[in-house]
Amino acid sequence: MSVQAGQSQPVSEPARIRHPGSRLFRLAPAMLAALLAAAAAAIYRWPGQTGVILSTAGLAVLLGGLVINHLGQRWYASMRKAICELEGAVAERVQGESDRLASLVMPPELKALQAMIVQTFERLRLNADRTARLAYVDSLTDLPNRAQFKRLAVPYITSARAQGTGGAMMFIDLDRFKQVNDTLGHAQGDRILELFAKRLLAALRLREGMRANEAGGALTQPLLARFGGDEFTVLIPGLMEEASAARVASRIISAFADPFEIAGQTIQLGVSIGVALFPQHGTDFDSLLLSADTAMYHAKEQGRNNFQFYSADLNRQAMERFILEGQLREALRTSQFQLYYQPQVCAQSGEIRGVEALLRWRHPKGELIAPFSFIPAAEETGLIAELGEWVIDEACRQAALWASQGRPLPMAINVSPRQFENGQLADQVTRALHRHRLPGELLEIEITETTAMAGLDSVLEQIAALKRHGVRLAIDDFGTGYSNLALLQKLPVDRIKVDRSLVTPLASDDNARSVIKLVISMARLFGCEVLAEGVETPEQVRILQEESCGLLQGFLISRPIKAEELQEQFLADGAVAASA
């Protein structure tokens, strides 16, 4: 397969100049009219001089030739009337001064005029070339950009539909590129995109540098483009079977099995690919692109670094996601989100030691929606940044309020991996602490093991900034991810939260009890507190007490409740029996 990746190259110069949509095409008539007038005026200034006056034929050759060379036959036809009028004026002048024909020798003045015309159009040609490149070529990867991709794809799709043929469109996204970009900087991020484009070319068995095939609809080779950011698209003509498209997608994924070596660091990145076949999944450019994009998002939902084909069910899910995104934006705008609080108590005394802030969405229909129903959509659309900042601010406000009432209660909040990716988490927390005058020791940030390991360097940097303000760190859902000693060794962890999946089988599974005992021993080794989540039975409480687990949290103690209810049930009396 040969490349059409170079299809970004500009169209030929005469074709561009003649293009009715180009600015140059619209300006050319006025320019030529002015030049013809200048030529006429110059001729009238040289009466009766031998070798100065051009004959009718000579003027036609000079001006007509310039028009044809620089604008083509079409413009010569449109300007012919003006040229003929000028020829007539010359003929009258010749007859008035002499009955002989003037010499065809071109005087220096007309040579200068000719040179000026040539130079003017050469500058215009160079400017048009630069403009076309900016309009149709991605300057970083030298691939076609979004506009050129559509410009070349639309005629092919139209032609293929008329001829009863088809092809495949793929939407390719570089996984977790933003995190790398934020960590290494934009210069290194650009370098990764350059290398990424080269690997795509190789995976598609394409060669760089070939000109675009512009024959209307006659696309015969794969068309690869940088669609924007870390997104790329490819149109493969004639690839109509799922099995064939799957082989190509698999080859692309395999091309990124080897890591990138950037700035002395090894960066492992994958790709998520959405595949749409036409005419099965769309009969025009926009519907095909939407289908491929929808399938790409499904690939990300399936764990990234894989490919997925479009289906009608995915379209339904995409529509639901689109509607949900709109509802989430409206919910943020109209303050539909609320924080509920779940107590964390001492396993031995039952005294309340802290709370965890849990997000809820009070839908306009009245139902209270749990976060697992909308947090994935918020992360996918980027709304998690704004939503997460609101949670941080509201939790700090409530903790400060309790502290001002003489009940300083540590507040734990969950943080999404996306909040670490944008590098703003430490600043957001610091601003909230200052705004509400809350001591950092009364705030605890909870992260999962997976979050910590996915971008450890970035996480460490932001956690270090938070620790300088006294903020505590907890590892949430411990036992479901990496659960390795290296994590506890590198992170300044204050508390380990044992996942409910380890707590639930305690009463019936001796192995579960052994795991709990091991986790508690490991936590002690690193000087961490241990909190057991998901405590729901008195028997679980008894075993956890026997194993010297420090803190308990779960429905047995309390469901998540509003701040007013928590104050009434827990803060008024100051204690609750964990075994109740």
Per-residue pLDDT of the chain (580 residues; tens, 9 = 90+): 333 444 434 333 333 333 434 444 444 444 444 455 445 444 433 444 433 344 444 444 555 555 555 455 555 555 555 556 555 655 555 555 444 333 334 455 545 655 666 676 667 667 766 776 778 888 899 899 999 999 999 999 999 888 888 999 999 999 888 877 777 788 888 999 999 999 999 998 875 443 334 434 467 789 999 998 999 999 999 888 888 899 999 999 999 989 888 878 888 889 999 999 999 999 999 999 999 999 998 898 888 899 999 987 877 777 777 788 889 999 999 999 999 999 999 999 999 999 999 999 998 888 888 888 888 888 877 888 899 999 999 999 999 999 999 999 999 999 988 888 777 899 999 999 999 999 999 999 999 877 776 666 778 888 999 999 999 999 887 866 555 566 777 888 999 999 898 999 998 888 889 989 988 998 888 889 999 999 999 999 999 999 999 999 999 999 999 999 999 898 875 444 434 3
Kindly give the pairing relationship between strand 529-532 and strand 495-498: parallel
Same domain, 344 and 468: yes
Same domain, 231 and 112: no
Report yes or no on 325 lying in a domain: no
Of the residues 115, 136, 157, the one at which a domain ends = 136
Report yes or no on 110 lying in a domain: yes
Same domain, 157 and 283: yes
Report yes or no on 326 lying in a domain: no
316 contacts 369 by C-beta, under 8 angstroms:
no
Report yes or no on 580 lying in a domain: no
Same domain, 181 and 115: no
CB count within 10 Å of CB 254 equals: 10
Same domain, 432 and 482: yes
Of the residues 310, 326, 357, the one at which a domain ends = 310
Same domain, 59 and 181: no
Same domain, 481 and 361: yes
Give the CATH number, domain containing residue 194: 3.30.70.270
Task: Say how far residue 23 (Cα) sits from the centre of its chain.
Answer: 32
Same domain, 407 and 529: yes
Same domain, 83 and 169: no
450 contacts 481 by C-beta, under 8 angstroms:
yes
Of the residues 83, 107, 136, the one at which a domain ends = 136
Same domain, 502 and 357: yes
- Compute the distance between CA of residue 276 and CA of residue 284 in angstroms, rounded to an integer: 12
**DSSP letter for each residue of 137-164:** B-TTT-SB-HHHHHHHHHHHHHHHHHHT
Give the CATH number, domain containing residue 477: 3.20.20.450
- Compute the distance between CA of residue 347 and CA of residue 551 in angstroms, rounded to an integer: 5
Same domain, 302 and 194: yes
- Compute the distance between CA of residue 147 and CA of residue 8 in angstroms, rounded to an integer: 10
Report yes or no on 578 lying in a domain: no
Number of domains in the chain: 3
Report yes or no on 396 lying in a domain: yes
Same domain, 275 and 395: no
Nearest to 200 by CA among 180, 178, 227, 176: 227
- Compute the distance between CA of residue 236 and CA of residue 316 in angstroms, rounded to an integer: 26
> What does the block give as tokens for 422?
């944008």
Report yes or no on 225 lying in a domain: yes
Residue 54: which domain range?
13-136
